[in-house]
Amino acid sequence: MRKSLKTKLRNKELILGSWVTIGHTSVVEIMAKAGFDFLTVDMEHSSITLYQAAQLVQVIDLAGVSPLVRVGENNANLIKRVMDAGAHGVIVPLVNSKEDAQKAVESVKYPPIGKRGVGLTRAQGYGTNFENYKKWVEDESVVIVQIEHIEAVNNLEEIISVDGVDGFIIGPYDLSGSLGRPGEFDHPSVIEALEKVKRVALNSKISSGFHVVTSDESKVIEKLDEGYNFLAYSLDILFLGDRCREGVSKIKRMQSLDKE
Three-state DSSP at 138 gives helix
> What is residue 260's predicted lDDT score, i.e. its pLDDT?
64
Residues sharing a CB contact under 8 Å with residue 87, sequence separation 6 or more, in sequence order: 41, 57, 67, 68, 69, 123
Tell me the CATH number at 78.
3.20.20.60
Q: What is the pLDDT along the chain (260 residues), one digit of tens a residue?
A: 578 999 999 999 999 999 999 999 999 999 999 999 999 999 999 999 999 999 999 999 999 999 999 999 999 999 999 999 999 999 999 999 999 999 999 999 999 999 999 999 999 999 999 999 999 999 999 999 999 999 999 999 999 999 999 999 999 999 999 999 999 999 999 999 999 999 998 889 999 999 999 999 999 999 999 999 999 999 999 999 999 999 999 999 988 776 66
Which is the catalytic residue, given 24, 45, 149, 211? Answer: 45
Residues sharing a CB contact under 8 Å with residue 164, sequence separation 6 or more, in sequence order: 105, 108, 109, 113, 114, 143
> What is residue 1's predicted lDDT score, i.e. its pLDDT?
59
Number of domains in the chain: 1
Domain housing 252? 5-259
Instruction: Give me the numbers of helices (H) and strands (E) for the chain, helices first please.
Output: 12, 8
Distance CA(19)–CA(21), nearest Å, equals: 7
The 10 Å CB-count burial string (b at 16+, else e) for 128-164 is: eebeebeebbeebbbbbbbbbbbebbebbeebbebeb
Q: How many CA atoms lie within 13 Å of 141's alpha carbon, on the beta-carbon side?
A: 32
Residues sharing a CB contact under 8 Å with residue 194, sequence separation 6 or more, in sequence order: 170, 175
Distance CA(99)–CA(92), nearest Å, equals: 13
Three-state DSSP at 211 gives strand
Closest CA to 31 of 22, 45, 219: 22
Per the annotation, the verdict on 88 as an active-site residue is no
Residues sharing a CB contact under 8 Å with residue 195, sequence separation 6 or more, in sequence order: none
Omega within 30 of 0 (cis) for the link into 112: yes
Three-state DSSP at 139 gives helix
> What is residue 256's predicted lDDT score, i.e. its pLDDT?
78
